[in-house]
Amino acid sequence: MRLPDVTVPLATYTGWALRRGAQASDGCEASGQFIPFAKTEADRVKTNDPRPSIEARYKTFADYHGKVRSALERMVSDRLLLCEDAAFEEARLMQAGVTRGVRRRKAACCPLSNC
C-alpha cells in the first residue's frame, strides 16, 4: 500500500534517520526521516540537491491537486481508505502542498465529490 504522501511526494521519506553527535545511537535511528524537496529550481541548484524541486514536480496547484485526488480515489476504491476520511486527508494534503510551496491559485479546493 502506497500512501498519498508517498505517491504524490513533497519530500523524500526514509525508513531510517541520519544521526550524528551526542544523540547518535539513542534508539531513534529507525524512526524515519522527512527530507523536504526544494521549493523552486533556483533553490535546488543553490543547495546542489539532485532531486527535482516542488516547482518542477507540480507545474500548477491543479496538477498537484489532481494527483492527490487520484491517489485518494484509488485508496477508496481499493478499500484502503474510508470515503468519510478522504475529505480530511485531501484537506491535509492540500495544506501540506501549500506549506511546502506548490504554486496556488486563489480558488479553494473542494473535498472528493464522488464519495
Structure confidence by residue, pLDDT tens digits, 70-99: 999 999 999 999 999 999 999 999 999 999
DSSP 59: S
Q: Inform me whether the pLDDT recorded for 46 exceeds 60.
A: yes
- What pLDDT sits at residue 87? 96
Q: How many CB atoms lie within 10 A of CB 73?
A: 17
Q: What is the mean pLDDT of the chain?
A: 86
∠ at Cα 54 (10, 18), nearest 5°? 50
- What pLDDT sits at residue 104? 73
Structure-model confidence comparison of residues 77 and 107, the more confident one: 77
Q: Inform me whether the pLDDT recorded for 63 exceeds 90.
A: yes
- What pLDDT sits at residue 109? 53
- What pLDDT sits at residue 42? 96
pTM attached to this predicted model: 0.79
Mean pLDDT calculated for residue range 12-32:
69
Which of the four pLDDT bands, split at 50, 70 and 90, describes residue 41?
very high
Mean pLDDT calculated for residue range 10-19:
83
Q: How far apart are CA 55 and CA 29, in angstroms?
A: 30
